[in-house]
């Protein structure tokens, strides 16, 4: 009997522009925004304790993968209940599936965002057709049989090829040689690729080498971009940081930058933005858009991060999801013999921020006027960035969390 199952979430990310859905769907998205965002904050905080230096992650990508896994666990099992508690599912499973179906539709309905799920199953293994039907219906997933038992490396090559296609060749060699074995039963892949441009493009000729402080005295040279424009900008009460919203084309999507007041203040601000202070963060996001934009001179470093998070089992155990990784795992809705468990969860993220927004797209330039600014927003020390999808004036979905330390 085999007890190895690998759920893998792969994400290439930066930005996406998504249109506002219809009224009924918008109401449903508002309802699920809170649990999605609460998980995002919990996950980012737990991950940051496991990782030093620059970090970029997609909580919502992991959430989709866990939700798909939970369908195989079945109601009223510890395996299901632990995921349900963490992701704050409604009590009605059909309501949960409807929520995630809408979420999947919302995230995959536009050219700016490429998102795909696929399940890879060992050809020797029997999987309940009902599970495959459910994941295909609600998560837009399909399945492909591969030979893990006799040729795991060839199976890895098939997976890697598919991931490259889905992510415009940004993710390569996701599965390294030897990562899969003859005991691997099933691999769940979630591939996402976002690409959008700033609403106002940074002028390349203004980018220059400047100092970025790693602490009070130590510095590294970075390519610092500059722009002066009207942005939503504030200093929230009880948060020792300044917050700025950088919109993308279409104003449906934005990057929120949280810049600590001091060069070494990132850890303190991070401790404030935990689950306990979730409502404070959401209040900051809402209040950020209330006042009229002000004229701000923004200095922001260009950066790229290509990261693999391969310690997500430990992170989820800290977040009280444990049984699915043990021999007591219950995935009877996938395997009629109930002989599988989750052995590994991996998330790989590629992000690049430059003058245009992301990657090498060539947008129609929309430059800000050369005006004296009222405020300075100089991002020359460690900061957070949160990429959000606007679903209403007061509601947004957290899709990505970043922590740039310069290391």
CATH of the domain at 314: 3.30.497.10
Provide the pLDDT confidence category of residue 22 given band limits of 50, 70 and 90. Answer: low
> What pLDDT is stored for residue 360 in this prediction?
36
Residues 132 and 56 in one domain: yes
Summary mean pLDDT of the chain: 82
Does residue 393 sit within a domain?
A: yes
Most confident by average pLDDT, 9-13, 141-145, 201-205, 344-348 = 201-205
> What pLDDT is stored for residue 154 in this prediction?
94
Which stretches of 180-311 are assigned E, i.e. beta strand? 184-194, 208-213, 219-234, 241-247, 253-260, 294-301, 303-309
> For residue 328, what is the DSSP state?
T
Cβ 333 vs Cβ 130: under 8 Å: yes
The C-alpha atoms of residue 78 and residue 401 are separated, in whole angstroms, by 29
Does residue 42 sit within a domain?
A: no
Write the CATH number for 273.
2.30.39.10
Token pair listed for 264: 């070494």
pTM of the predicted model as reported, rounded to 2 decimal places: 0.86
Residues 282 and 311 in one domain: no
Instruction: Say whether pLDDT at 265 is over 70.
Output: yes
Q: At what angle do helices 93-108 and 59-73 cross, to 10 degrees?
A: 140
Residues 160 and 90 in one domain: yes
Domain that holds residue 381: 199-302+366-404
> What pLDDT is stored for residue 20 in this prediction?
44
Residues 217 and 288 in one domain: yes
Q: Please tell me which residue, 92 or 358, carries the higher pLDDT value.
A: 92
6-20, 139-153, 259-273, 342-356: the lowest-pLDDT one: 6-20
Does residue 331 sit within a domain?
A: yes
**Domain total for the chain?**
2
Token pair listed for 402: 């970043």
Residues 189 and 288 in one domain: no
Residues 139 and 205 in one domain: no
Token pair listed for 8: 């893998």
Residue owning tokens 């500059």: 226
- Please list, in sequence order, all residues whose beta carbon lies within 8 angstroms of the beta carbon of residue 161, skipping any fewer than 6 positions away: none
Does residue 288 sit within a domain?
A: yes
Phi-psi region of 178 (alpha: psi -120 to 50; beta: other; left: phi over 0): left
Nearest to 298 by CA among 177, 198, 397: 198
Most confident by average pLDDT, 78-92, 153-167, 384-398 = 78-92
Average pLDDT over residues 288-296: 82
């Amino acid at each position: 009997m085999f007890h190895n199952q690998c759920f893998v979430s792969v994400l290439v990310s930066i930005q996406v522009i998504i249109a506002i859905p219809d009224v009924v769907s918008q109401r449903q998205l508002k309802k699920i925004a809170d649990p999605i965002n609460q998980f995002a904050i919990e996950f980012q905080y737990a991950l940051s304790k496991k990782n030093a230096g620059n970090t970029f992650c997609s909580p919502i990508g992991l959430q989709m993968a866990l939700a798909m896994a939970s369908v195989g666990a079945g109601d009223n099992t510890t395996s299901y209940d632990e995921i349900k508690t963490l992701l704050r599912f409604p009590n009605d499973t059909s309501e949960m599936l409807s929520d995630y179906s809408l979420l999947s539709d919302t995230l995959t309905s536009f050219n700016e965002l490429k998102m795909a799920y696929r399940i890879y199953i060992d050809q020797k293994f029997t999987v309940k057709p009902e599970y495959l039907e459910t994941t295909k219906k609600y998560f837009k997933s399909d399945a492909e049989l591969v030979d893990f038992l006799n040729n795991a490396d060839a199976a890895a090559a098939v997976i890697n090829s598919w991931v490259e296609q889905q992510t415009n060749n940004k993710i390569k060699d996701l599965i390294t040689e030897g990562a899969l074995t003859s005991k691997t039963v099933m691999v769940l892949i979630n591939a996402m690729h976002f690409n959008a441009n700033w609403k106002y493009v940074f002028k390349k000729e203004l980018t220059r080498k400047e100092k970025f402080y790693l602490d009070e005295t130590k510095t590294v040279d970075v390519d610092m971009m500059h722009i002066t424009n009207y942005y939503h900008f504030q200093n929230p009460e009880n948060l020792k940081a300044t917050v700025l919203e950088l919109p993308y084309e279409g104003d449906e999507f934005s990057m929120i930058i949280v810049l600590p007041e001091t060069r070494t203040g990132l850890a303190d601000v991070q401790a404030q933005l935990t689950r306990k202070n979730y409502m404070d963060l959401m209040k900051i996001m809402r209040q950020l858009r209330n006042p009229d934009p002000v004229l701000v001179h923004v200095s922001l470093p260009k950066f790229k991060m290509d990261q693999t998070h391969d310690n997500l089992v430990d992170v989820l155990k800290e977040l009280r999801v444990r049984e699915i990784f043990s021999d007591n795992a219950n995935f009877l809705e996938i395997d009629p013999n109930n002989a599988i468990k989750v052995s590994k969860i991996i998330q790989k993220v590629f992000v690049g921020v430059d003058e245009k927004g992301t990657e090498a797209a060539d947008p129609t330039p929309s430059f800000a006027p050369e005006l004296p600014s009222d405020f300075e927003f100089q991002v020359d020390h460690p900061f957070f960035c949160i990429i959000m999808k606007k679903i209403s004036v007061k509601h947004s979905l957290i899709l990505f969390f970043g922590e740039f330390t310069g290391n």
